[in-house]
């Protein structure tokens, strides 16, 4: 009867309007079912907090304390965690583990908190995927500097470092030797108590799928995406093309089957996103991560394919099957993936002129503040449209006569 939806909180570099898109869609789906909705989101500059979208809006921080106070007052039946990015997931998980949700009889709708924990906690994630023999990067979770150095020597340099439970790839990067490792690990520990030391897969292709699954175990991949930039560059900093361009049909099928197998094993209900590192020369792969929430890529995938992922995910969370959403046998059915006969690209936009002293090299931590999307029939067309659309004075691939590079190889590499 009454459901709380957690928004994504204040805007900062690393999370932005994509969660507004998914939140608004979810509220629309709940409204259609006649369910009373309570939204918590302190950001007034969003669509979801506008009048008429949610029945009641609280402009309060998304922290366990405030959410508990609202639960006390509103006494809802359920709560949705997947529509507010990492902030909402972390907050919801905390409320679940400390017993607050149980105390007030609030049910988590959609993907269970156990499944969320499997995807967020790296150790659990790797163990879970080992059960079905799906490969993940060789990695070790450490909690102190000495352990980090020992782990790096065991895995062998170069290694990749990431903070667990962090947003937008904060405190991550690739280290060539122990000195770099110590420097990076120090900043990574500032963001999270646990950091991951993993084998470096720099230069592998980065492929993503959006996967949807209902309670009846009907599961398929909706959209395949490929990052033009190789692994080692954050997805939010990459130019992303959908559908994939450089994979053969056989490689694509291999990854699709693995995605479905993984998502079924994790027990995710609703929408999620799975990222792979893929090496075409050896046909080898690693599953980098699974996000049990709607992400930037899912907003892109929805707009690219016309399949409203967030809307469908909200209905699935209420207990519908995919065959009950839309009309079966028509293009409006949620039961099978949409067919697309065009290509789309997403190009990020940076605004670093405002920040003096910030490194302008692209890496595994996210600095872009927005993005554009262009649609066309060929790769050249979408890139050309996209570069002109970004509004940073580019005329596309050609005609940029005033731009000169001293060392082109180095510029392309970073």
User: Using one digit for the tens of pLDDT, what is the confidence trace for 32-49?
Assistant: 999 999 999 988 878 888
Q: Are 400 and 392 in contact (CB under 8 A)?
A: no
Cα dihedral 177, 191, 208, 410 in deg (nearest 10): -40
- Pick left, alpha or beta for residue 399 (phi over 0 → left; psi -120 to 50 → alpha; otherwise beta): left
Per domain, the residue ranges of the chain are: 2-109, 138-199, 202-413
55 band by pLDDT with thresholds 50, 70 and 90: very high
Of 8-17, 41-50, 398-407, least confident by mean pLDDT is: 8-17
pLDDT of 79 over the 80 cut = yes
Q: Give CA–CA dist 351/367, Å, rounded.
A: 9
The Cα angle at residue 25 between residues 18 and 63, in degrees rounded to 5: 65
Q: Give CA–CA dist 18/2, Å, rounded.
A: 25
Q: Which residues contact 14 (CB under 8 A, 6 or more apart)?
A: 167, 168, 169, 170, 236, 366
Q: Give CA–CA dist 137/356, Å, rounded.
A: 36
pLDDT single digits (tens) 226-263: 998 888 777 778 889 988 888 999 999 999 999 999 99
Task: Tell how far CA 274 is from the center of its chain.
Answer: 8
Q: Are 290 and 119 in contact (CB under 8 A)?
A: yes
- The residue length of the chain stands at 414
Q: Give CA–CA dist 81/8, Å, rounded.
A: 10
165 band by pLDDT with thresholds 50, 70 and 90: low
Comparing 404 with 149, the larger pLDDT belongs to 149
Beta strands in 23-71 (DSSP E): 36-40, 56-58
pLDDT of 71 over the 60 cut = yes
Is the previous residue joined to 394 through a cis bond, with omega within 30 degrees of 0? Answer: no
Query: According to the model, what pLDDT value does residue 131 have?
Result: 93
Beta strands in 231-354 (DSSP E): 240-242, 270-279, 284-291, 343-349
Q: Which CATH superfamily is domain 138-199 in?
A: ATP-grasp fold, A domain (3.30.1490.20)
Q: Are 223 and 209 in contact (CB under 8 A)?
A: yes
Helix/strand/coil for 7: coil
Q: Which CATH number among 3.30.470.20, 3.30.565.10, 3.10.105.10, 3.40.50.2300 corresponds to the domain 202-413?
A: 3.30.470.20
- In sign, the C-alpha dihedral spanning 146, 149, 153, 154 is positive
Instruction: Please write down the long-range contacts of 63-68, taking CB distance under 8 Å and 24 or more positions apart.
Output: 63/91, 64/91, 64/94, 64/95, 64/98, 64/100, 66/40, 67/4, 67/6, 67/40, 67/91, 67/95, 68/95, 68/100
Q: Are 119 and 65 in contact (CB under 8 A)?
A: no
Helix/strand/coil for 178: helix
The Cα angle at residue 52 between residues 50 and 55, in degrees rounded to 5: 100
Comparing 191 with 103, the larger pLDDT belongs to 103
Helix or strand run (H / E) with residue 174 = strand 173-175
Of 36-40, 192-196, 258-262, 357-361, least confident by mean pLDDT is: 357-361
Rg (C-alpha) for the chain, rounded Å, is 21
Identify the CA nearest to 197 among candidates 265, 143, 127. Answer: 143
pLDDT single digits (tens) 95-147: 999 999 999 999 999 888 888 888 888 788 889 999 999 998 888 888 888 89
Architecture of 2-109 per CATH? 3-Layer(aba) Sandwich (3.40)
Q: Which two tokens stand for residue 407?
A: 């060392």
The neighbour count for residue 399, using CB atoms within 10 Å, is: 9
Tell me, what DSSP letter sits at residue 74? H
Identify the CA nearest to 17 among candidates 47, 49, 40. Answer: 47
Q: Which residue do the tokens 């895995």 mark?
A: 155
Q: Are 345 and 239 in contact (CB under 8 A)?
A: yes
Query: According to the model, what pLDDT value does residue 17 have?
Result: 61
The Cα angle at residue 51 between residues 48 and 56, in degrees rounded to 5: 75
Tell me, what DSSP letter sits at residue 302? H
56 strand-pairing partners? 38
């Amino acid at each position: 009867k009454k459901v709380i939806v957690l928004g994504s909180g204040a805007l900062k570099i690393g999370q932005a309007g994509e969660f507004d898109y998914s939140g608004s869609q979810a509220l629309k789906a709940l409204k259609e079912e006649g369910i009373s909705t309570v939204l918590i989101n302190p950001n007034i500059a969003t669509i979801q907090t506008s009048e008429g979208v949610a029945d009641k809006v609280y402009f309060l921080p998304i922290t366990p304390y405030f959410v508990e106070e609202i639960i006390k007052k509103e006494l809802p039946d359920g709560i949705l965690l997947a529509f507010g990015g990492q902030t909402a997931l972390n907050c919801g998980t905390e409320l679940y583990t400390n017993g607050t949700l149980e105390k007030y009889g609030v049910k988590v709708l959609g993907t269970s908190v156990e499944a969320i924990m499997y995807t967020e906690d790296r150790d659990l994630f790797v163990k879970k995927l080992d059960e079905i023999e799906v490969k993940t990067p060789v990695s070790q979770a450490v909690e102190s500097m000495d352990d980090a150095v020992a782990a790096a020597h065991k895995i062998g340099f170069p290694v990749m470092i990431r903070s667990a439970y962090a947003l937008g790839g904060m405190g991550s990067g690739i280290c060539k030797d122990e000195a770099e490792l110590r420097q990076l690990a120090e900043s990574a520990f500032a963001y999270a108590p646990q950091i991951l030391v993993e084998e470096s897969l720099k230069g592998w292709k980065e492929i993503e799928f959006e996967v949807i699954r209902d309670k009846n175990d009907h599961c398929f991949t909706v959209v395949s995406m490929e990052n033009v930039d190789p692994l080692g560059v954050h997805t939010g900093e990459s130019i992303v093309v959908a559908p994939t361009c450089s994979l053969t049909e056989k490689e694509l099928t291999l990854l699709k089957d693995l995605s479905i197998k993984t998502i079924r094993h994790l027990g995710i209900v609703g929408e999620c996103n799975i990222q792979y590192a893929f090496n075409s020369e050896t046909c080898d792969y690693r599953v980098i991560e699974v996000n049990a929430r709607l992400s930037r890529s899912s907003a892109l995938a929805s707009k690219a394919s016309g399949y409203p992922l967030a809307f469908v995910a909200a209905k699935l969370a209420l207990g519908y099957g995919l065959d009950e959403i839309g009309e079966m046998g028509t293009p409006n059915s949620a039961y099978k993936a949409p067919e697309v006969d065009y290509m789309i690209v997403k190009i990020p936009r940076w605004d670093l002129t405002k920040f003096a002293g910030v490194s302008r090299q692209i890496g595994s931590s996210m600095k872009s503040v927005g993005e554009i999307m262009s649609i066309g029939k060929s790769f050249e067309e979408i890139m050309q449209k996209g570069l002109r659309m970004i509004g940073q004075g580019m005329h596309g691939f050609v005609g940029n006569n005033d731009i000169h590079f001293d060392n082109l190889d180095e510029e392309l590499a970073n």
